[in-house]
Amino acid sequence: MSDSFLPFALPDIGDDEIAEVVDTLKSGWVTTGPKAKRFESDFAAFLGDRDLHCVAVNSATAGLHLALEALGIGPGDEVITTTHTFTATAEVVRYLGADVRLVDIDARTFNIDPAGIEAVVTQRTKAIIPVHYGGLAADMPAILDVARRHDLKVVEDAAHALPTTSGGALIGTLDSDATVFSFYANKTMTTGEGGMLVTRNASLAERARVMRLHGISRDAFDRFTAKVPSWYYEIIAPGFKYNLTDIAAALGLQQLRKVRLFQQSRQRIAAAYRGALASLPLVLPPEPLPGDMHSWHLFVVRLGDAATIGRDAFIERMFAVGIGCSVHYVPLHLQPYWRDRYGLTPEQFPASQRAYERLVSLPMYSRMSEADVARVATAAQAALAGA
């Protein structure tokens, strides 16, 4: 093996990020402070909507938890989400003592099936958490319509969806109750660990701000700058420790400036893949609707019916020639905790099950070169050729 390992994902961090972090370290203010605040206002500016409140948190999981908590989700309630996601989407519902109703996906887009949502709504249903799988917008008009008709809240898991659009509007600016982005290491921009809760609802934002830092009614930065005694604070609830540090926010400030360039790189890589893989027995991922943007967080292919090897063998062969692949996801209905709690079987989720058995996430990150794409395609061809 002459080539170096080609990973499945890689953060794109440059000198600007490094300088901003060093500046933070030298400033003396390393935890939540002026840069976290600026990151929130820059994020709102990026989304381009003055009515949005942005609440920086230390993970998307934290943001989803805070959004549901602020919406009053609790024991006895049910929240609907997709089986074809990472466990974080669903586990936050259990943190609050509510229950999860998993729904199958659309076989083409791998996004939650709106008809499947409608089929499991009960008197107990309080909210829907759609996921924009891989960076392709879920069918938000249909989901928001179901939500309106049944008086349900909508919290978008937008961990993959920066920047993604639906009906020409950026995810984060739609008519849902809250949207949560992730800045985990392998996402389209990163703060190492981090997330952003976005909402138009001022009281939801206020509750999330309080609960992200121990239930303190004013956050640390305000305490040290506002004209009240600096030592005084009030605890109004048993809150969490979900604040984003200024070190992480420093990364975020610089990453956010490049996020459109990152998307353009990813889109170019997706197009190059499309050409390079065209003749192989692979089903390529769907394009966004005309006029819409795909973040291309993931480039997920399915082994076609003509493929003579299985998914596991394909990944093994790619790995043997130094190419990292992944699987998004082992669906929740197969995971012991979710399967056993709700007595789930693969037959209840035929589209997700079939997708899971055939899908592979190929390497996708903004710094991939055309040569990297060609190398992946050549390796894929060889892997699929050998029976």
Name the site residues for ligand PLP (rule: CB under 6 A): 59-61, 85-86, 88-89, 131, 157, 159-160, 182, 184, 195
Q: Which is nearer to ligand PLP, 73 or 88 (CB)?
A: 88
CB of 313 to ligand PLP, least distance (A): 26
CB of 84 to ligand PLP, least distance (A): 9
The Cβ-side half-sphere exposure at 176, using a 13 Å CA radius, reads: 32
Q: Listing from the earlier edge strand, what are the strands of the sheet with 299-303?
A: 282-283, 299-303, 359-362
Q: Which is nearer to ligand PLP, 159 or 283 (CB)?
A: 159
H or E, element range at 259: helix 259-276
Distance CA 199, CA 212 (A): 15
Neighbours of 362 (CB within 10 A): 27
CB of 91 to ligand PLP, least distance (A): 9
Residue in the block written with tokens 């920047």: 163
> Is residue 286 exposed (0-12), middle (13-18) or buried (19+ Cβ within 10 Å)?
middle
Distance CA 46, CA 259 (A): 10
CB of 50 to ligand PLP, least distance (A): 26
Q: Which is nearer to ligand PLP, 57 or 293 (CB)?
A: 57
Beta bridge partners of 127: 79, 153
User: How long, in residues, is the chain?
Assistant: 387
Q: Tell me, yes or no, if 187 is annotated catalytic.
A: yes
Single-letter residue type at 82: T
Q: Which is nearer to ligand PLP, 56 or 88 (CB)?
A: 88
Neighbours of 34 (CB within 10 A): 14
CB of 195 to ligand PLP, least distance (A): 5
Phi-psi region of 282 (alpha: psi -120 to 50; beta: other; left: phi over 0): beta
Q: Of 26, 153, 187, 227, which residue is the catalytic one?
A: 187
- Residue 31, SS3 per DSSP: coil
Q: Within its chain, how far is the Cα of 133 from the centroid?
A: 8
Q: Which is nearer to ligand PLP, 163 or 195 (CB)?
A: 195
Q: Which is nearer to ligand PLP, 158 or 277 (CB)?
A: 158
CB of 164 to ligand PLP, least distance (A): 13
Active-site amino acid positions: 187
